[in-house]
Amino acid sequence: MSDDGDHKLRVSKIRSGTVIDHVPGGQALNVLAILGIDGSKGEEISVGMNVPSDRFARKDIVKVEGRELSQDEVDVLSLIAPDATINIVRDYDVIEKHRVERPDVVEGVLSCPNAGCISTGDEPVSSTFEVFDDAVRCSYCGTIVREEIASLIDT
């Protein structure tokens, strides 16, 4: 920032794609994992981590060129970034902006940490979790997870 109060753009604009803003500080890499982005496919991404925020002390921001998120991706994203804002950009203009909404249930996107759960065995059962404000609960065994939800995400 200069002395005259002008702000410096920390992450460049994208032509078209998705901007995920207001991600909790330190979660950008988990966002990339959810989206299956590891750089191996030549994706053009911009990431700002722990940047100053008016709404939070610090936030992350992820910009993905040439890709708009599916509702399933937004639902999973909401588990680790419940206050995130999704901006759809076309020709450098934001054409759609909305906050993520947590679904009541997510299916097939988390692995139950309980090794004895039917969803972790050889049975053809897809994991199902009820989603709460501060936790998720396995619908099969009742295991509740409050911390490290990102580590349970199937990518």
Fold for 17-99, please state it. Alpha-Beta Plaits (3.30.70)
Residue 141: the pLDDT is 96
Consult the annotation and say whether 16 binds a ligand. no
Q: State the architecture of 105-152 in CATH terms.
A: Roll (2.30)
**What does the domain layout of the chain look like in residue ranges?**
17-99, 105-152
Question: Model's pTM, two decimal places?
Answer: 0.80
Q: What is the pLDDT of residues 91-126, one digit of tens each?
A: 999 999 999 999 999 998 899 999 999 998 788 888
Q: What is the pLDDT of residues 129-143, one digit of tens each?
A: 999 988 999 999 999
Consult the annotation and say whether 33 binds a ligand. no
Q: What does the CA dihedral 101, 147, 32, 76 come to, rounded to 10 degrees? A: -30
Confidence category of residue 5, pLDDT binned at 50, 70, 90: very low
Which sign, positive or negative, has the C-alpha torsion 74, 78, 80, 85?
positive
